[in-house]
Structures are given as C-alpha cells and as structure tokens.
Structure 1
Amino acid sequence: MTQHPPTAPLDRPVVGSYPTYEGAQRAVDFLSDSKFPVERTAIIGSDLRMVETVLGRLTRGRAALAGAGSGAWFGLLIGLLLSLFAAGNHHVLVLMISGLFYGAIFGALFGFAGHAFTGGRRDFASRSQIVAARYDVVAETEVAEEAKSLLIKLGWREG
C-alpha cells in the first residue's frame, strides 16, 4: 500500500455536510464500514460558537457540597493507594474510609472558601461547550469522489 503525504484538512474537498457532529461522525463510520480509507478524511466544524449552559444558582452550601464530593473521591483514591502499603487487610478498609472522610471534609472547606473568595462575582454553575453551525466531512483529493459517491449511493445525503 502506498503512503500518501497528508494534505491539510482545510485544503481537502467537502464530501458531505451535516448540521450535527453526530451526523458527520455517522458518515465517517459508514465510510469505514464500507472499507473506505478513513485515515484520509477529517471532520471540520465551521462557524464555531461557545455555548455556556447555566445549570443553576451556586450558593456557598452548594459549593461546599460539590467540594465535599470531589474531595471524597480524591480521599478515597489516596486511601486506596496508601492501603497498598498497609500491613493487614483490616487496615485497608480503615485507610479507605479515613481517606473518604478527610477528603470530603477538606473538599467542603476548600469549596466553601473558594466560592466565598469570589465575592459573589460568579453565583451560578454552568457547563461550556464549543458547537459549530455545520460539520463538513472532507477527504484527500485523490479519494474525495469515491467518498462522495459512496455516501450518495447508499443514502447519506448532505444537510
């Protein structure tokens, strides 16, 4: 098999355009199932926007609770790692429970203090993501027509 030097994704012809990333991903998966050399394709998102979804009000209590949750997981991990060096089996459980407890306590304190130090400038919890207006599947010039005809022939339409 001959290796072709890859071209920059932006220089490649568009073989399909989709309103969602999942649509573009399904098209590439379909090409892969059809034994198409998908290593010669790319998915390019255009007209990017940052969308921040507000999940709710963030109080000091909620910040402390979130801190306690993440601190508990971290404490459990530390307890588990320390238990590798414990002398007896009964020490394993004690170390893990202690790690969980102390992790939750310190996590709650740090969560509370961290939120208190913001001075009310960010009293909400949110999730951010980058979304595109459309997703183009592109392919190297030498195989672009084959990809396009596969997608059209078997029902994968643009849009």
Structure 2
Amino acid sequence: MTSATTTPGFAGAQRPSALPTLPEGWPIGSYGTYEGAQRAVDHLADSEFPVQDVTIVGVEPMLVERVAARLTWGRVLGSGALSGAWFGLFVGLLLTLFTQGAGIAPMLIGLVTGVVFGLVSAAIGYRATRGKRDFVSSSQLVARRYDVLCQPRNAERGRDLLGALAMGNPFATN
C-alpha cells in the first residue's frame, strides 16, 4: 500500500509519497516518445477520464549526454569573466542603492572585482580537471518507450479511448 498526500491548490489531486515505489496499474497504451504519452493522457483528460488513476512510466531509462562544443581556455575564461561581471554588477548595484551619494563608483568597483574573481575561479576550476573533460555537454534522462498505466477499475475504458485516438477517431468512445 502506498501513501499519497493531497497537492495544495488541486482539489483531489494525489502526489506519491517521497519514497520510491513501483508503478501500479494495467498498461493501456505504449508510446515511443514522452510527447506521445503526454498527448494520450491529455486526450483522456479531455474525455473526462479520471486521470488521477493514470501513470506514465518510462521503460528502459538511459542517460543521454549530447556534446555541444569543445572547451578551450578562451571559452572558460570568457564564461568566467561574464558570470563574474554579472555578479559584481549586481553587488555594485545593491551597494549603490543603499549608499547615499555614492554615485556609480560601487557599480564599477563591483564590475571589475567580479570579472577578476570570475576569471580566477574559472581558471582554477578548469585547471583542476587537467584536460580530462575538454567539452561542454548537456545531459538528459530519456526512456526507450513510455507506457501509460491505469488502475484496473478504469483500464478498459482508458484502453478504448486511446485505441480510438490511435485509429484517428478520438471521439468514438466518449
């Protein structure tokens, strides 16, 4: 038996407990993309189906890392200087707002100091990798397929609705 709590702001919506649990229910649809599974559940919701009985399960998850660019000293230092400049400018702006008659001097000092600290911290961080990760990438968790599960009490109706959607007649079983 799993516990659930009510999500504030959504009457009757259930949120699973914080502990990992296996999904429950009967499969009523399977899709090659998350977008397809999401579209199916949206169709169920539009058909006034009790979607609180539905779960989308990613099967065979995998971590995909897409390499975007080669990492160079110029790119590292430029990024460090830019992020340091933004932070320094923000601190300088705060000091300017709370210091009477200071003018723009705190903003300029903050900007320069931020650039220096950004450069130094970026250089130290990049040097610490010793060339073992000379690329920029982004990671994404994806699944080979996405199954839509439903509690047994409504599984047959859900399967009929999704079957009609797949056949191109989404309103056949309303």
* Fold shared, TM-score > 0.5 on shorter chain: yes
Identity %: 47
RMSD value over aligned CA atoms? 3.0
Q: Residue 119 of structure 1 is aligned with which of 122, 130, 133?
A: 130
1:61-103 Cα distance to aligned partner (Å, 9 max, x none):
2111222233334334444555553447x85x66556545533
Q: Residue 43 of structure 1 is aligned with which of 56, 81, 103?
A: 56
Q: Aligned-pair distance for 1:134?
A: 0.3
List alignment gaps of at least 5 residues for structure 1: none
After the TM superposition, list the runs of 4 or more consecutive aligned residues in structure 1 that deviate by more than 6 angstroms. Answer: none
Q: Residue 149 of structure 1 is aligned with which of 149, 152, 160?
A: 160
Range with greater deviation from structure 2 (67-76 or 105-114): 67-76
| Cα distance change on mapping 1:138 and 1:120 into 2, 3 Å | same
* TM-score, normalised relative to structure 2: 0.71
Equivalence for 1:105: 116
List alignment gaps of at least 5 residues for structure 2: 1-11, 169-174
Q: RCO higher in 1 or 2 (8 Å CA, sep ≥ 6)?
A: 1
Query: How far apart, CA to CA, are the structure 2 residues paired with 1:148 and 1:36?
Result: 11
1:29-54 Cα distance to aligned partner (Å, 9 max, x none):
22222222222211111111111111
Q: Residue 12 of structure 1 is aligned with which of 1, 25, 39?
A: 25
Q: How many residues align?
A: 153
Between Structure 1 and Structure 2, the one with more helix by share is 1
SS at match of 2:131: coil
